[in-house]
Amino acid sequence: MRIAAVDDDLAQLDLVKAVVVSMGHDCHRFENAQALLRLLPKETFDLFIIDWELPDIAGPDLIRTIRNMAVAPVPILMVTNRSDERDIIEGLLCGADDYMVKSSRVGELSARLMALLRRGGHLPPAQEVTWGPYRFLAQDRGVWINGEAVTTLSNKEFDLALIMFRNLGRLLSRAHLIEAVWGIGADISSRSLDVYMSHVRSKLRLRAETGYKLVSIYSHGYRLEDLGPARPGTAT
């Protein structure tokens, strides 16, 4: 998962990054709110960790801004030195999903992050997941459409397809997709990603006739749209 942490305390950022990386996720660190806000029109994240006392914008105001900008709800954890009950109430009412007072208890931070990711549907997928006519088997890396196996999908194409289905209706940036499939710092160009996504669209027939359409958003990334009635994924 792609997690953004905003805090002007570099030691706290180092601690958060260590916890996030130990959980197997990618951590993007920001020392002020504006640095994050400049990226949000083109970048996407799976979870935000936000301090209250930021040098430019107060944490609650940053959270309200993120909520107004976000296309789809993303979990937000506020981590701050403020422990007064009134502050906790304000932090939760401004849009944070959870509130934690800063400490060195990395186990608590890890548990809270895991709970938020699970609540947001961002934990690793179950062995079998279905959306409408599409069935994914994670262990076998197999995909079926209306019971017919798709035999030409490569491993990377499978990963991209599953990410898009698990984020149905959500715009994912190119950088988000590249990091999720190839890792941070991977030497993969946007053009190469476009080629992979074109293969995914073609091989899985992600066009209007199947009820699911893979859309490219110019200069941003991709979104998988459900064109029919709501059909939430089911897992076993």
Task: Look at residue 1 in the predicted model and tell me its pLDDT.
Answer: 82
Residues 6+ apart with CB under 8 A from 45: 2, 3, 4, 28, 74, 176
pLDDT, mean of residues 40-67: 93
pLDDT, mean of residues 21-28: 89
Q: Which helix (H) or strand (E) holds 34?
A: helix 33-39
Q: Is the pLDDT confidence value at 236 over 50?
A: no
Q: For 38, phi and psi rounded to 5 degrees?
A: -65, -25
C-alpha–C-alpha distance, residues 214 and 225, integer Å: 6
Task: Look at residue 230 in the predicted model and tell me its pLDDT.
Answer: 41
Which domains are assigned to the chain? 2-119 (3.40.50.2300), 128-235 (1.10.10.10)
Please enumerate, as own/partner, the contacts of 181-189 that have beta carbons within 8 Å and a separation of 24 or more: 181/156, 182/156, 183/26, 184/26
Q: Is the pLDDT confidence value at 51 over 70?
A: yes
Q: Is the pLDDT confidence value at 125 over 70?
A: no
For residues 131-149, b (16+ Cβ closer than 10 Å) or e, as one string?
bbebbbeeeeeebebeeee
Tokens encoding 44: 């996407």
Say which DSSP state 167 is in: T
Helix-helix angle 190-203:155-166, to 10 degrees = 80
Helix (H, G, I), strand (E, B) or coil at 75: coil
pLDDT, mean of residues 25-33: 93
pLDDT tens digits, 65-122: 999 886 567 899 999 999 999 999 999 999 999 999 998 788 889 989 988 887 755 5
Task: Look at residue 22 in the predicted model and tell me its pLDDT.
Answer: 87
Beta bridge partners of 131: 134
Task: Evaluate the CA torsion angle 222, 181, 110, 43 in order and state its sign.
Answer: negative
Rg (CA), the chain: 19
Average pLDDT, the chain: 87
Q: Is the pLDDT confidence value at 150 over 50?
A: yes
Task: Look at residue 186 in the predicted model and tell me its pLDDT.
Answer: 80
pLDDT tens digits, 198-216: 999 999 999 888 889 999 9
C-alpha–C-alpha distance, residues 4 and 228, integer Å: 33
Mean pLDDT is highest, among 30-34, 139-143, 153-157, for: 30-34
Classify the phi-psi angles of 168: left when phi > 0, otherwise alpha if psi is within -120 to 50, otherwise beta. Answer: beta
C-alpha–C-alpha distance, residues 119 and 35, integer Å: 27
Whole-model pTM over 0.75: no
pLDDT tens digits, 157-198: 999 999 899 888 888 999 999 988 888 778 888 889 999 999
187 compared with 10, residue with greater pLDDT: 10
- pLDDT band, residue 123 (cuts 50/70/90): low
- pLDDT band, residue 228 (cuts 50/70/90): confident
